[in-house]
């Protein structure tokens, strides 16, 4: 059961992050952020499909209360990385699920780097 709770928490935070990214993208579109959004939507779908309908929960934070600054999004990605690390260290994790989680963790790490690149381009340009 701890693994299922970890996946639910990751999914909740992924969806919260996705909502925030969509709002940032709507305010200031960029090709890099668009790519991150596409991968994030896929990641949320993959995790959602690993849970039963009963186990799925939506983000507890409404989209209107989300901060829209890039540094906040980068921090959200760092938090997600820690959640993935915690889930990967749960005893008895299925090897197939571990592979999926490692792949999604890698995408979150890439998203963090991409968001940092967007932030740097905004401060330089």
Q: List the chain domain ranges.
A: 2-124
- CA neighbours within 13 Å on the CB side: how many for 89? 6
CATH of domain 2-124: 1.20.1260.10
* 4-37 pLDDT tens trace: 888 889 999 999 999 999 998 998 898 999 999 9
Give the Cα separation of 103 and 109 in Å (integer): 10
What pTM does this model have? 0.85
Structure tokens at 2: 């701890």
* 47-72 pLDDT tens trace: 888 887 666 665 455 555 655 788 98
pLDDT(1) > 80: no
Residue 93 is given by DSSP the state -
Query: What integer pLDDT is reported at residue 28 of this predicted model?
Result: 85
């Amino acid at each position: 059961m701890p693994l299922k709770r970890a996946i639910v928490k990751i999914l909740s935070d992924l969806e919260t992050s996705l909502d925030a990214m969509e709002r940032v993208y709507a305010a200031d579109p960029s090709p890099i952020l668009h790519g991150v959004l596409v991968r994030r939507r896929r990641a949320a779908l993959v995790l959602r499909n690993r849970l039963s309908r009963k186990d799925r929960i939506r983000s507890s934070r409404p989209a209107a209360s989300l901060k829209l600054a890039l540094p906040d999004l980068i921090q959200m990605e760092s938090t997600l990385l820690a959640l993935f690390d915690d889930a990967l260290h749960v005893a008895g994790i299925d090897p197939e699920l571990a592979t999926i989680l490692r792949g999604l963790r890698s995408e979150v790490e890439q998203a963090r780097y991409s968001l940092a690149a967007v932030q740097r381009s905004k401060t330089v340009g």
